[in-house]
Amino acid sequence: MGLFSNKISREEVKPGDHIYSWRTAYVYAHHGIYVGDNKVIHFTRGGGRQTETGTFLDKLVVSSSPNYPQCLVCKDHSSFNGDKVITSCLDCFLAGGNLYLFKYNVSRSSFLAKPRGGTCTLAPSDPPEDVLVRANFQLHMDGWFGDYDVTENNCEDFAIYCKTGLLVCKKNRFGTSGQVNAAAAASLALALHACGLTMLGVGVYCYGRVASDVSRNGDVIKVPAKKLVSILESDRTSPREGWLSIAGPKFRGE
């Protein structure tokens, strides 16, 4: 595993690791938490549902939702509808792709050296035992982690929450997903490049990636697993309002 690749072997993965695998032509990656015994807990969609946005984001969700075969270990994952935290064997999670390790507590230079977002974060991870508690807690609470949303609440957001306990609580704000935030920063940088401001665009891209990282986002707070349940229940009846009622210290290395 080098500077530009987080690829690892199955022998290297450990319980509590945040892992991911690239989907269709490296357009999007699917994330989850390895819990041991060849099992992964992850947030996904069932029944082939899409975002219903009518945009290219629909295709991204399809690419992040593996087309599970009839697996003797996992049974039939296509039997459920909606958005759910589930457990799968490692083979079903990878869906034929390679295995990668999401890195935590990386240096700023290493963070910016990564050509793609959604592969590492500046934030430190909590101990593996805490990570496993959060992942299993969500799994056994009917698998509910809110509505799956490509930009605000996706599989990467779930995995980062399990690793850190951190969530974005501000309404109408991107989640903790590095893939999404990097894409947003890149869009602005490309716009500046089109205006002939190439160097400024590069600076904006780098600043945008760092500023939106879960460790730097001012709208990120630490949320205990049990508190999250009540927030998500509020979110069912009053979308996004549940997030606004969160009370807790903002993440500043506290």
Please report which residue ranges of 155-245 form alpha helices under DSSP H. 155-164, 178-194, 198-212, 225-237, 241-244
Let me know if 34 is exposed, middle or buried by CB neighbors in 10 A (0-12, 13-18, 19+): buried
Catalytic residue status for 18? no
Contact 86, 139 (CB under 8 A): yes
Contacts for 116 with CB less than 8 Å, ≥ 6 apart: 26, 179, 182
Catalytic residue status for 140? no
Catalytic residue among 18, 77, 120, 155: 155
Catalytic residue among 30, 31, 92, 120: 30
Pairwise CA distance, residues 121 & 129, whole Å: 20
Catalytic residue among 18, 31, 42, 77: 42
Catalytic residue status for 31? no
Contact 171, 240 (CB under 8 A): yes
Report helix angle 178-194 to 155-164, nearest 10: 120
Q: CA 126, 248, 83: angle at the middle one, nearest 5?
A: 70
The catalytic residue positions are: 30, 42, 155
